[in-house]
A and B are shown apart, each in its own frame.
Chain A
Amino acid sequence: MTVATDQAAEASSKLSLHPMEQFTVRPLFGGTEIHWYTITNVTLWMAVAVVCTFLLLVYATRARALVPGRGQSIGEVVYGFVRNMVVDVAGEEALAFFPYILTLFMFVVFANSLSLIPMSFATTSHFAVTGVLAIAVFLTVTIVGFVKNGTSFLGLFWVTSAPLPLRPVLAIIELISYFVRPVSHSVRLAGNMMAGHAVMEVFAGFAIVLWISPLSIAAITAMYGLEIMVAVVQAYVFTILTCVYLKDALHPHH
């Protein structure tokens, strides 16, 4: 038993492959205990995301220019992008939820992108974070669905376009898929972020072996480019799925 762990420790120390270590939550100002209020690397990188949101959407647009400058243009593009997404997917009446959806998008897109800075911390690679986001969306959508439609919201599970004998079966499938939504919603985001970062870490671990390091560095470079795309695409996917779920809540009849 001890021999096995020693061997494993020895092998890993040689190559120093700790791909998951980068996701460790650590207190910033010493100590080992992590209370709910402890200031950790999570706090730091979420704060950076908040500051970046402020810089892009408020500071860059401070001129309120009729002909926008660079920063204001980017802010307006993000605003228009998310607004069009909400209107196209969920319809005009979903605009009441536009601030919430923009909040989600800004948080996820900045958390994902900032995690690509070397030595930073990927907050969206944790199920605790994406799970809370997904459960918040799930609860909001469910409550809005019942408040707006009453019990006819349950029509979402009763597929009237299908033949009658099939409907109970479909209802069970629809019900399961409805409750699986928050799981897939959160695991998709956290899994993508975790996998990309872990793969880069593994390649980085191999870089200390001389004959393999050029290949390893090339692979890290390629992965980094891919991860930039993944960071933005996953934020987009998370947001558009939120819009799709919201559309179900507002218009439950297929």
Chain B
Amino acid sequence: MRDEAVRLVETVRRAGAEGRRLVIVGSGSKAGKGQGVRGSFASGQPMASAQPAVLASGSDAPDALETMPVGDHAGIIDHRPEELVLTARCGTALKDVDALLAQHRQHLPFEPPMLDGGGTLGGAVATGWSGPGRPWRGSVRDAVLGVEMVNGLGQRLKFGGQVMKNVAGYDLSRLQAGAWGSLGALLSVSLRLSPMPYVERNCRLPCSADQALAWMRTWARGFSPISATCYQDGLLDVRLSGPEAAVQAAAARIGGELSSDLGHWSALRDWALPIFHGVGDGGAAQRRGGKGAAEKGVGGGVAREAEDGAALWRIHCAPAAPLPPGRCLVEWAGARRWWRTNAPPEAVHAYAKTAAGVAVLAHCAPDFNAPIMARLKQAFDPNRVLNPHLSHGNPVQ
């Protein structure tokens, strides 16, 4: 719980001056989430031993990269419950944030995954991974009100603020959500909070995958206290949140088995359901798995489940698009699918395209190599000091 901002800014500035490259490391909870990620969220392992699958060029070789731990830069800076705003340093543990907010019946609306029960606020914003309630409660980016960061030039910058509406200058604070620290290392973030619902219940009903998707889409067109939906293996779970009477009335309409046990939703949020096995346990399966546990593949390395060799893909798509064949978990009212499949990557991408969507390996950093993205990288970090392994950095294409 201390302010390390000055030291971190100096670390980046010096690295830039001396031509060194830095890999930002938070708590390490996202370590081992596949080769594409390993470089940026190494679990206390120096990059040199992590053997990243994809590196841009000779100058970005593992031995040229050093880790920059940011986990010590932690602590809540400001929480005013009546403002529904939290400002905290990026190394702050998500579970500390949750505990504080719970005292005031508030929470982070975007439900970030706590992988292995851990994770930091900075990591949650940097990955931009939103949880089960995303279509109803908004994304990580939606909740970002402001950031303090250090760019690749070692400049300490503040964008946005602590207020709900702010259109002064380009929105460079929301841009950091999902940028994986490649535009700058986050120092602190201000987030919009939401009140916890009066009551929350789960409805579970058996049905086919196609029936589940049809219901999800029908419900999306009507007003209801639904705050999450999830289908897998013949069961549809529906989370209802709101005043007691509204929740009860909706539960009666939906049918199924009503329960106050919400364990399913925290397991989904934390990637702890069986379908996530091998990626949701901090990569333990892959570390154990030896040969075949992790294979290099197209687009940044394919993480394969130790047991059956199938990869887990995350597909963001048009919510009503038909489902892929085989084992698939469907959430976000259809808009996000987790597909466990042996299909070759080209087939997965082809499916995603038909669904007006994009497929990425469950746990991997996205592709930041589009020309305009490479130019943005250059605008924030011209010397490629921060997380350089995440893009090849060629803006002229």
The answer to whether A and B belong to the same complex is no
